Amino acid sequence: MARWKLGVLLFFLLGLALLALARFYFSGRILPGVAVAGRPVGGMDLGRARKVITELAAEVENRQVSLRLGEQVLASTPGALGLEVDVEATLARAYALGRQGPLVKRLVLLSARKRRVEPVTHLDQQRLQAGLERLGGAWRREPADARIEIGAGGQPRLVPAVTGWQVDAAILKSRLEEATTGQTIDIPLNRLEPRLTTAELAARRITRQVASFTTLFDPAEADRTHNIRLAAGTLDGLWLPPGGEFSFNRTVGPRTPDRGYRDALVVEEGNFVPGTGGGVCQVSSTLYNVALLAGLTITERQPHGLPITYVPPGRDATVAYGLIDLKFRNDTPYWYLLKTGVEVGKLTMAFYAPDEAPRAEVTSQVLETIPPLEEIEWEPDWPPGRVELKREGKPGFRTQVIRIIYQDDKKGQPEVVSRDLYPPQPRIIRKGGQGG
């Protein structure tokens, strides 16, 4: 045992001595037996070895090869396709062989007759992309999800998903490095799957429109119209799964100038005043009505502080980001798809679902009409007897909304959805004098 240990020790000591001798004797030169991609450079000084590697790089980069993508073939060279041999990095790798790394590995390399070094290469993505475009392809094709399109007459139609792909740069780089003159290289592609497959969408069984609601607006109010389009576009294509709850604020997000919203009239403390995002409440109110008609469960909703004319009484839903939200839940076992559309002066929303999904009838009732009071504002700087109407009053209302849900054409029990009070707006008169 002692003799075995002594032999190992002597082997390592001899190896160390040989390594030291080789480093001294071959100082400034590559160790013997080293070859770069089969080109001998062992024993050469760095200048001669650089010349050999430079010639190798030119040969590799200028070989005539062909790229094939499907039935399309492009004649080119690895260099034109972006493959570059890094001469200096390859030279440094060859020079370091046997000089760096674990001792045992260096001793094994020293004892070997041939020591092969692979060239250091890089793939220029832009040049490769240019080559692929000449081939009629692209570096990447995005997958497309399966989707529902609404055809003539409002009939939903399933559009199949499309699988995408991306060039596998690592494999292509390796193939370009190893290619021989005249070789045809198949471009390696990685498959990119869509997030929503055709089978998954088909399983949702979207077969008919279950509810639709339209509100009107003045298209001459450009900023308000812009805000309506922006918010409605955010909601288009929304999916509500079984058991899922929708939040208007979470889905639409903040209504701020940096997100594209403009100033238009909003309701604030019972008055119309300029504010960012004016018109968004018409979007939320339209959505509230179509959700009622689709039989969805309303979990959060708040009316405006005054009657709104673009929906029936009691069927508005105001929103304010971070303060007031519109929420509803899908308590059915079916998927629901929301589609929105904005035409000239018209906002329409519709829910689509399977044939078995419920539908609803919604009725608005005005329980009481409250006449406006009259308020007088005295103007001490005006002469007595001067009278002006500052604002015409508007009546208020007490409302009630009733809904009946039909499931499989069976009529359900009427439910009271909401009871709301809309205070009247007083008639304001300005008069000259001190008042009473």
Domain borders along the chain are 25-134, 204-432
More confident call, 433 vs 310:
310
pLDDT value of residue 61: 87
Mean per-residue pLDDT of the chain: 86
The region of weakest confidence among 216-220, 236-240, 388-392 is 388-392
Q: State the burial class of residue 114 (Cβ atoms within 10 Å of its Cβ: 0-12, 13-18, 19+).
A: exposed
pLDDT value of residue 268: 66
pLDDT value of residue 284: 96
Assign 250 a pLDDT band (cuts: 50, 70, 90). Answer: very high
CA distance 282 to 286: 6
pLDDT value of residue 2: 58
Q: pLDDT per residue over 115-131, tens digit each? A: 788 899 888 888 888 87
pLDDT value of residue 202: 94
Residue 256 Cα distances to 182, 232, 301, angstroms: 60, 15, 22
Strands 156-159 and 147-150: antiparallel
The region of weakest confidence among 12-16, 40-44, 334-338 is 12-16
The region of weakest confidence among 97-106, 355-364, 382-391 is 97-106
The 8 Å CB, 24+ separation contacts for 167-172 are 167/128, 167/132, 167/139, 167/140, 169/123, 169/125, 169/128, 172/123, 172/128
Report which residue type is found at 291.
A
HSE of 237, CA atoms in CB hemisphere, 13 A: 9
Structure tokens at 296: 């969805």
Residue 205 has pLDDT above 70, yes or no: yes
pLDDT value of residue 272: 67
pTM (2 d.p.)? 0.74
Q: How far from chain centre, in Å, is Cα 233?
A: 15
Structure tokens at 4: 């075995």
Q: Cα torsion at 168, 171, 173, 176 (round to 10°)?
A: -120
What 3-state DSSP class applies to 65? strand
Assign 8 a pLDDT band (cuts: 50, 70, 90). Answer: very low
Report which residue type is found at 207.
T
Structure tokens at 125: 């993505």
Q: Are the beta carbons of 377 and 291 closer than 8 angstroms? A: no
Assign 38 a pLDDT band (cuts: 50, 70, 90). Answer: confident
More confident call, 335 vs 380:
335
Average pLDDT over residues 230-243: 96
Residue 305 Cα distances to 136, 271, 396, angstroms: 60, 8, 10
Assign 348 a pLDDT band (cuts: 50, 70, 90). Answer: very high
pLDDT value of residue 111: 47
User: In sequence order, which residues have a C-beta less than 8 Å from that of residue 396 and are 6 or more positions away?
Assistant: 306, 307, 369, 370, 372, 421, 422, 423, 424, 425
CA distance 48 to 36: 13
pLDDT value of residue 352: 97
What 3-state DSSP class applies to 127? helix
Which of 50-59, 71-80, 93-102, 364-373: highest mean pLDDT? 364-373
Which of 7-21, 77-91, 358-372: highest mean pLDDT? 358-372
Q: Under CATH, to which class is 25-134 assigned?
A: alpha beta
Residue 203 has pLDDT above 50, yes or no: yes
Q: Are the beta carbons of 322 and 333 closer than 8 angstroms? A: no
| Closest alpha carbon to 353 in 412, 416, 290 | 290
Assign 70 a pLDDT band (cuts: 50, 70, 90). Answer: confident
What 3-state DSSP class applies to 334? coil
Assign 32 a pLDDT band (cuts: 50, 70, 90). Answer: confident
CA distance 213 to 79: 61
Q: pLDDT per residue over 140-154, tens digit each? A: 788 999 999 998 888
pLDDT value of residue 42: 84
CA distance 337 to 206: 8
Q: Inter-axis angle of helices 125-134 and 169-178, to 10 degrees?
A: 80
pLDDT value of residue 25: 45
Residue 354 has pLDDT above 70, yes or no: yes
Task: Provide the β-strand partners of residue 362.
Answer: 403
Return the residue matching tokens 């004797």.
Answer: 25
Q: pLDDT per residue over 384-397, tens digit each? A: 889 898 888 889 99
pLDDT value of residue 24: 45
User: In sequence order, which residues have a C-beta less than 8 Å from that of residue 335 and are 6 or more positions away?
Assistant: 204, 205, 206, 239, 240, 241, 242, 353, 354
pLDDT value of residue 114: 56
